[in-house]
Amino acid sequence: MTRDQYTLVDPAKLYAEYEPKKQHQPEPGLEADLQPKPDLGESTYRGTGRLQGRRALITGADSGIGAAVAIAFAREGASVAMSYLPSEAEDADRVAALVREAGVVAVQLPGDLRDAEYCRTLVADAADQLGGLDILVNNGGKQVFNEDLETLSDEQFDDTFKTNVYGMFWITKAALAHLPAGASIINTTSIQAYKQSAVLVDYASTKATINAFTKGLAQQLAPRGIRVNAVAPGPIWTVLQVTDGQPQEKIAHFGEDTPLGRMGQPAELAPAYVFLASAESSYVIGETLNVNGGIPSP
Ligand code: NAD
Ligand code: MG
């Protein structure tokens, strides 16, 4: 290992070799077919026992941010249940193998977050196969750009809310029967919650909802000793960006408008989730941790 997440680096120069070109995949996309490959921390994330013995359920754990979180949690000592769509098996198998290499259990539970019954079964199966649940990461999400509200289909609006908001609600509600005092719920929101793009009206609306859900529920669950927080990524290189998450002419300059002048990598998100999942953040509740290259945020 030449570098790990603790190595001193110039963040403005990190990942300078990433220069993605226009490309397109149908939703939800396969990271295996994405060029260049996002850095999930495979060769850099070093665990130090911060989540020893914990049991985590992560949605969208096959690729991108969720996969980087799965790898980091595993190396910190947590067993991981992974949710993803059945068509993403190739990506999920690779990440599950990395989780198992860390010496912990990986449980693979594919299904569709738009389906309430799947969400409830997912939680029951995860808790059953991991022997309980201490950490829930609601991260699976849909983002498809649309330039004109008059052409935004009812179906897309519904799908985006079902995936990003209803899925989180169904899973969190079901998880409460299993989460003990000390447990942590982490929702993935976005810079879009407060700095909206004109072409992401439906998506941005779901992310603002996730922030409000997080902050309200955090107060409700604090007396039970369950902490609820969110992570708000900025522009991060994942397959979401080439499955119509952005108009493709934006890809070549993706993230260049951040103060750091570049897009981020999933590996740079994982430590934020580890912090919020572990007991070291015991007094951090209802917080949105922005990981966005310096874009001013509330
Ligand atoms: P990604 O495509 O790698 O991960 C998203 C995952 O969501 C998919 O792998 C898929 O498993 C899951 N998913 C989507 N629809 C689903 C469905 N109907 N049922 C089950 N699973 C479904 O992309 P990512 O960028 O890592 O996205 C992870 C989260 O980060 C999302 O919530 C996204 O909104 C958020 N986010 C991403 C960025 C970014 O720039 N990449 C910025 C802000 C927020
Ligand atoms: Mg995926």
Domains assigned to the chain: 47-234+269-289 (3.40.50.720)
Ligand closest to the CA atom of residue 86: 1
Q: Which of 15, 118, 194, 203 is catalytic?
A: 203
Residue 114 CB neighbour total at 10 angstroms: 17
Q: Is the bond into 86 cis (omega within 30 degrees of 0)?
A: no
**C-alpha to C-alpha distance for 264 and 46, rounded to whole angstroms:** 19
Tell me which residue has tokens 């570049």. 262
**End-to-end distance of the chain based on CA atoms, in angstroms?**
37
Of residues 252 and 145, more confidently modeled:
145
* Residue range 71-120, pLDDT digits in tens: 999 999 999 999 999 999 999 999 999 999 999 999 999 999 999 999 99
**C-alpha to C-alpha distance for 244 and 138, rounded to whole angstroms:** 21
How high is the pLDDT of residue 101? 98
**C-alpha to C-alpha distance for 180 and 171, rounded to whole angstroms:** 16
User: Rounded to 5 degrees, what are φ and ψ at 21?
Assistant: -105, 165
Over range 166-190, report the average pLDDT.
99
Ligand 1 pocket test target in 238, 253, 290 with most atoms within 8 Å of CB: 238
How high is the pLDDT of residue 136? 99
Cα-based distances in Å from 127 to 176, 178, 254, 274: 11, 7, 38, 20
Q: Which residues contact 196 (CB under 8 A, 6 or more apart)?
A: 204
Contact 80, 66 (CB under 8 A): no
The chain-wide mean pLDDT, for the chain, equals 98
* Lateral strand order in the sheet of 79-83: 106-108, 79-83, 55-59, 135-138, 184-188, 227-233, 288-291
Our answer on whether the CB atom of 264 is closer than 6 Å to any ligand 1 atom is no
pLDDT at 2 over 90: no
Task: State the distance from the centre of ligand 2 to the C-alpha of 224, rounded, in angstroms.
Answer: 33
- The single-letter DSSP state of residue 248 is G
Residues in the chain: 298
Provide the greatest CA pair distance for the chain.
51
Confirm whether 203 is a catalytic residue.
yes
Our answer on whether the CB atom of 64 is closer than 6 Å to any ligand 1 atom is yes
Our answer on whether the CB atom of 85 is closer than 6 Å to any ligand 1 atom is yes
